[in-house]
Chain A
């Protein structure tokens, strides 16, 4: 079946522009995660949704970062007034088909990522 998809795959933005990154999770997956992966580093957690509820946004680096999942499926990560330090690959993952509450030990399925370059 279809995996997690993300668009666009590449985005170049001038410093100060706003960007919106889209994630389509696996159909039926309750949990959705966003990660930021800087060059040469491992992914770092940004935020977590369970259905439409954003249960954890502790990893968002500043109030310029905003994520939403209004209908509990597609999610958008928005970055306002982009800065050069925002340049990274943004990864989306989904997990836990049909599960509610916190569940442990479930695989997260990752999309290919969006590479954001801020010039």
Chain B
């Protein structure tokens, strides 16, 4: 079975400092992995995805994530936080048939001015 664990339920950073949101996955195969962001009263938006190509994936708004098979991790980073980054972030692993996503419990990011 597939699953993801988001290691922090809340992360708080100062504006202009780096962001690190941690995600570990469990899968019996080489999975597709995604990060989605959810702003209040908005739909889920894709930040980036990994699909067995380059292990360092760049996404929108300056976010990137690195797939590390040996550590079963897919952590999300950004060099410099902006106030508009405050939101809920979800790490997602796809099923081996592509017919469902398994979401983590989410990490709430707060950016302090």
Contact = CB atoms under 8 A, between A and B. Distances in A.
A33 B99 CA distance: 8
A55 B98 CA distance: 12
B100 A41 contact: no
B14 interface: no
Most buried by A among B43, B94, B105: B43
Contacts of A40: 105-106
Nearest to B31: A104
Contacts of B104: 42
A18 interface: no
Contacts of B42: 112
Interface residues of B, number: 25
Contacts of B36: 110
Contact of A43 (B45, B49, B51, B103): B103
Given A91-B44, A110-B44, A112-B43, A103 B98 contact: yes
Contact of B49 (A35, A59, A105): A105
Interface of B: 32, 34, 36, 41-46, 49, 51-52, 90, 94, 96-106
